[in-house]
Amino acid sequence: MAKINGNEIRPGYVIEYQDTLWVSVKTMAVKPGKGPAYNQVELKNLIDGRKLNNRFGSDEKVERVRLEQKDFQFLYREGESLVFMDDTTYEQTELHEDFVGERAAFLQDGMKVTLELHDERPISIKLPDYVTLAIVEADPVVKGQTASSSYKPAKLENGLRVMVPPFITAGEKIVVDTNEVTYVRRAD
């Protein structure tokens, strides 16, 4: 780990502060008329998700943490647990469904994911940006509907609902953005 000055903290940096891990969400360099300049930083706790706004002066030192990234493969669900396998060592890791959150609905057997680890402890998970899913239910198109409001609700095979263009029907496969949970395009 490397020590950095408080004014060097940038968005996306993971730091150790108050004996826990935080990710920098927003930073703003402030130079008041009186007193020394400081860096106003919005932090999010990587362990429990709480937020903190803090001022860091250029004379303050903080530990910048580098997280280890490892590729895993999703194997299966077991109750509320999700089982992943390390691609290099073939060791299996169980994570609670809450760790992945609502995006757990996108997990498919054999899907490659990236886990960020700190001291062998999972901190965050990155799913592929896009997945292909089939539509099981799509509302019919209302005649005379204008082009500006032409999206309609559809239910995906994983149970999630997204808004799709009127030409999409049940049974078709579409590409969905896993971060925004939105329709991207028809699958090839």
Q: What is the per-residue pLDDT for 112?
A: 92
Residues sharing a CB contact under 8 Å with residue 127, sequence separation 6 or more, in sequence order: 100, 103, 106, 107, 111, 113, 178
d(CA 149, CA 141): 11
DSSP state of 157: T
pLDDT along the chain (188 residues), means of 10: 82 84 86 88 83 88 86 89 89 84 84 86 84 87 63 87 87 87 85
CA 29 remoteness from chain centre: 27
The reported pLDDT for the residue numbered 1 is: 60
| Residues in a beta bridge with 126 | 114
Please tell me the predicted confidence (pLDDT) of residue 147: 54
* Residue whose token pair is 């971060």: 179
